Structure 1
């Protein structure tokens, strides 16, 4: 999830663990702890693209990380804070650390909660930024912050924030199931044979849902809003995996395919090849668009026979147009 959401969650967890004893400092340290796992993004400055993608939401988002580093930070904080109990501070950091990846597991990218096992949990029920999750949570956190440390209202507001956000997360599973059944019915009605399908919410909401459907030679993409009145329409994107046939045994290509969980197409444009990770959809909703959110130029070094993946830039205008298109589409077709 986005940084603000993780800060709010961390602060609320910190308050639940130590709020009665240390007041707003519990929220402060919880908020700090809630952002620490995402420091793995710094790897993009010192490694190649594929390695950075593999590291993201890996070790720092694991239970093992929480177990190892919570006592260390708990001990450090206890050295200079008035509240000296290492156990209390350690529990605060542990729960702020571990709830971070649990929340991230609900997103499309998922998280390696059980690192070093090569298992990425991705429930794909919520987008990385969802105002309906974050804003009510933030309001209750602020209300709690304004109360006295020992006030029953403070505990009530904080618990309500945690409860409502958790109920919303549970609701997203129901919404995902309903959307899944809609896509499944549409495929059956249109007599489309497929191998597997993958559903996820569109940015900033859980009203508009997208699907990737794998067939033998192509992927079918479609979306569905709970306000739709017209049948679901699928757009076909050829896999074009044969375009990288000579590169399939390249170690970096194999790793990139693994990162994408096999949901990828290859595009050839102006003599250059692009790797498209389908899990995050298109950058715009124009019919036939092949501009994907995560699209990488495959840079081939003919002298060394090595390849690199260069992520294609996305500008503010791209995001602005996508938001406008999504808003219109969310209201129904």
Structure 2
């Protein structure tokens, strides 16, 4: 998710495990900074190879197995600024709590996170919350700030519980979206080969519906209020490199880049309707 969401969730957990009222303010800033630290991988990029960024963002720094090492690096940086109030062990604990929340929160979005690197390159995406969602972020932010100023762990714990409940609601809404998609496919007399649902930016009620059938991607939307309301969309041919780019030589840099992009996008690729030289990730298109 966005850096603010990562910071406040990391702060909420580190404050929740703080030892006493005197340490809760240190736990706030340590947890917040550690909660954002995994996204330093955005600096791994190359002007000559744009796909490199996609391969390394949310990779090793977001892995569950990297948490102890990432927390240690954070603690080494933070300790000189807090050694008069905290032991190194305490700094490490708060950094660990903040760092640990990052990859799991990112996995709740649709972007994909390599939680099990280096043992698996699978991009985990639970699709339960948008990458930016003020309804998630603002209440958590308010509660951790109140915990900071009032030095009350109970407020931080309330923030963390709210975050868990909000993400759990996303699972419920995701299930409803999948049911609506399956009903839509059946109504059209089709059989979906793959389905993908995800919430739109900043809300819990409007979801994008995507499925593959007979060489095409069908993109619709659904409003999930008391009763699901389908918003009909459109369809687009699935990318076929041999058909869409017959001049592209196998093994060329461009052909390899398409395959790398295919891995990133979970093979939801198509040629842009607006530019037949552009390959797009249908999951993030503006269709319907």
Q: Give TM-score, length-normalised by structure 2.
A: 0.89
* Corresponding residue for residue 257 of structure 1: 262
Structure 2 residues without counterparts, runs of 5 or longer: none
**Is the aligned partner of 1:86 residue 2:88?**
yes
Structure 1 residues without counterparts, runs of 5 or longer: 149-153, 286-333
Task: Give CA-to-partner distance per residue, 1:249-300, whole Å, 9 cap, x none.
Answer: 4322211111111001013656x51101012231x75xxxxxxxxxxxxxxx
Contact 2:222/2:228 (8 A) holds in 1: no
1:46 positional shift: 5.4
* Corresponding residue for residue 98 of structure 2: 96
Q: 1:41 to 1:77 in 2, by over 3 A?
A: closer
**Is the aligned partner of 1:15 residue 2:18?**
no
Query: Residue 279 of structure 1: SS of its match in structure 2?
Result: helix
Contact 1:74/1:88 (8 A) holds in 2: no
Summarize the alignment of residues 132-151 of structure 1 with structure 2, pairs less than 5 Å apart.
Answer: 132-148=135-151
Summarize the alignment of residues 116-131 of structure 1 with structure 2, pairs less than 5 Å apart.
Answer: 116=118, 117-131=120-134
* Corresponding residue for residue 112 of structure 2: 110
* Corresponding residue for residue 166 of structure 1: 164
Contact 2:62/2:113 (8 A) holds in 1: yes
Contact 1:19/1:26 (8 A) holds in 2: no
**Is the aligned partner of 1:281 residue 2:285?**
yes
Separation (CA, whole Å) in 2 of partners of 1:269 and 1:248: 25
Aligned to 1:267, which of 251, 266, 272?
272
1:18 positional shift: 2.8
Q: Give TM-score, length-normalised by structure 1.
A: 0.77
**Is the aligned partner of 1:235 residue 2:207?**
no
Q: 1:177 to 1:276 in 2, by over 3 A?
A: same
Q: 1:45 to 1:17 in 2, by over 3 A?
A: farther
1:47 positional shift: 5.7
1:7 positional shift: 1.2
Number of aligned positions between the proteins: 278
Separation (CA, whole Å) in 1 of partners of 2:236 and 2:188: 17
Separation (CA, whole Å) in 2 of partners of 1:269 and 1:247: 24
Separation (CA, whole Å) in 2 of partners of 1:96 and 1:107: 18
Separation (CA, whole Å) in 1 of partners of 2:114 and 2:6: 17
Contact 1:183/1:232 (8 A) holds in 2: no
1:67 positional shift: 1.5
Query: Residue 54 of structure 1: SS of its match in structure 2?
Result: helix
1:43 positional shift: 2.1
Contact 2:269/2:279 (8 A) holds in 1: yes
Q: 1:73 to 1:47 in 2, by over 3 A?
A: farther
1:70 positional shift: 1.8
Summarize the alignment of residues 156-305 of structure 1 with structure 2, pairs less than 5 Å apart.
Answer: 156-227=154-225, 231-241=230-240, 242-245=243-246, 246-247=248-249, 249=251, 250-267=255-272, 272-282=276-286, 285=288
Contact 1:127/1:203 (8 A) holds in 2: yes
Separation (CA, whole Å) in 2 of partners of 1:276 and 1:13: 37
